[in-house]
Structure 1
């Protein structure tokens, strides 16, 4: 995988160097390898079995598309693209999401993949790889996205480079919860021109790293939060959606700091079930408005109440006002 190698410095204790009895730190050069990752969410499916657009389905106070794009945003460090069908209306999304129009309808996910990979390849951030998924994945988790993208890294004894990372869960290939190199855009376009419209046609032309269930669950972070690999479960029919919607929201820990610490039932962390930052705030008696910010798992300061939360998250609310 193409990578940018940057020289950086880290601080380490220096033996024998002191300042008033306290050890000084000296700067030791280290090499950090970074690679930009992107996300592509395909929203242009016809949703014929569902009977209504999946992207706009309600999901715990938000929409299914907002939920899935938010999960992908949290997992990658580059841009996230949504590919929509010609004339398709989308629900409200985070302002950083890049919407791409698919000029050709009825060509299936390969056409959306071509549009998304081309947009990613031409983006100023120049992401090397992208996690690609459909919009109907209510249980997608950031840990799954990261585990798939980690498949592009070099393992001892493995091929040094692959074009695609393909999960196989419960015996089924998962090409719409997979990783692809953005450089594949011309090949996808070429295959479409030949009438080869299935992801299997693309994978047949690629160097593919397969991640079966054992390989996926070797990732400790993923095994801890999604041992059944429900990240790949999609909703195709109303009964699927209704069953998914009835499940309890994820269990998260909420902490409050500063002037917020005594609101909503006393100090200390609280465990609540909430699918968004806004709902978590409501449950501890906070109005998530412009005066409050949220830090998720120690970083990602957010003011968007629709940002999705996941099992294992810790949300810290702080006052955005000076002195709070």
Structure 2
């Protein structure tokens, strides 16, 4: 079933300093990281938005809204703000395009919990997963203020007293994704080599 009350947002800014080249175009199992992530979102959400940084990036998919950062050079905070701003729905599910093993079952499970509240994130042993989560439009003024104050870490957002945050325990995620591959992101050539050794989970 397609989710029509939450918008899927893919952050694809394009800056990949640690990787050394544009992560969006990196191939894994014959498919670019960008297309892998976009393909998952398209199967789940009726509305999908791709947020780019500066410049353009070739996108072959149809029925996808492509926008550029409203507030440029503000990393994930700027991309999250832009996705929330353009979404037709009151909430978005956001991921970065360097996450090669997105699991539709995990995303649908998280979406099923998001009837109330402003932020829904997985709380893993090593911390909250801010780039694989659900955010409401009530976050917009908070993010705008953060950006103006040069506070770009999303941990600042999830600690804001005006927002209702639900942390989903790792134990609740594991029945859908026992190895927690959904939350793996590729920041370096070493990460990419590790990903090449992992068999992609079946959707």
Q: Same fold (TM over 0.5)?
A: yes
Q: Which residue of 1 aligns with 2:6?
A: 37
- Structure 1 runs (4+) deviating above 6 angstroms are none
Secondary structure, counterpart of 1:96 in structure 2:
coil
Whether 1:210 and 2:177 are equivalent positions in the alignment is no
Q: Which residue of 2 aligns with 1:191?
A: 146
Q: Which residue of 2 aligns with 1:289?
A: none
Match of residue 84, structure 1, among 36, 47, 52: 52
Secondary structure, counterpart of 1:227 in structure 2:
coil
Question: Are 1:66 and 1:93, in contact at CA under 8 Å, matched by a contact in 2?
Answer: no
> What is the 5 A alignment of 1:37-186?
37-76=6-45, 78-87=46-55, 89-120=56-87, 126-153=88-115, 161-186=116-141
Q: Could you tell me how far apart the structure 2 residues matched to 1:62 and 1:171 are?
A: 29
1:236 Cα deviation after fit: 0.7
Count residues with an aligned counterpart: 199
Higher helix share: 2
Whether 1:233 and 2:184 are equivalent positions in the alignment is yes
1:35 Cα deviation after fit: 5.8
1:45 Cα deviation after fit: 4.8
Greater relative contact order (Cα < 8 A, sep 6+):
2
1:185 Cα deviation after fit: 2.2
Q: Could you tell me how far apart the structure 2 residues matched to 1:169 and 1:93 are?
A: 34
Which of 1 and 2 has greater Rg? 1
Secondary structure, counterpart of 1:176 in structure 2:
strand
| Structure 2 CA distance for partners of 1:173 and 1:210, relative to 1, 3 Å | same
Q: Which residue of 2 aligns with 1:257?
A: none
Q: Could you tell me how far apart the structure 2 residues matched to 1:69 and 1:138 are?
A: 10
Q: Could you tell me how far apart the structure 1 residues matched to 2:38 and 2:84 are?
A: 16
Question: Are 2:24 and 2:32, in contact at CA under 8 Å, matched by a contact in 1?
Answer: yes
Higher strand share: 1
CA RMSD, Structure 1 to Structure 2 (Å) = 1.9
1:130 Cα deviation after fit: 1.0
Unaligned runs of 5+ in 1: 1-33, 121-125, 154-160, 218-222, 251-310, 314-324
Question: Are 1:166 and 1:173, in contact at CA under 8 Å, matched by a contact in 2?
Answer: yes
Q: Which residue of 1 aligns with 2:196?
A: 245
Q: Could you tell me how far apart the structure 2 residues matched to 1:235 and 1:98 are?
A: 25
Q: Which moved more, 1:131-140 or 1:36-45?
A: 36-45
Question: Are 1:45 and 1:108, in contact at CA under 8 Å, matched by a contact in 2?
Answer: no
Question: Are 2:7 and 2:93, in contact at CA under 8 Å, matched by a contact in 1?
Answer: yes
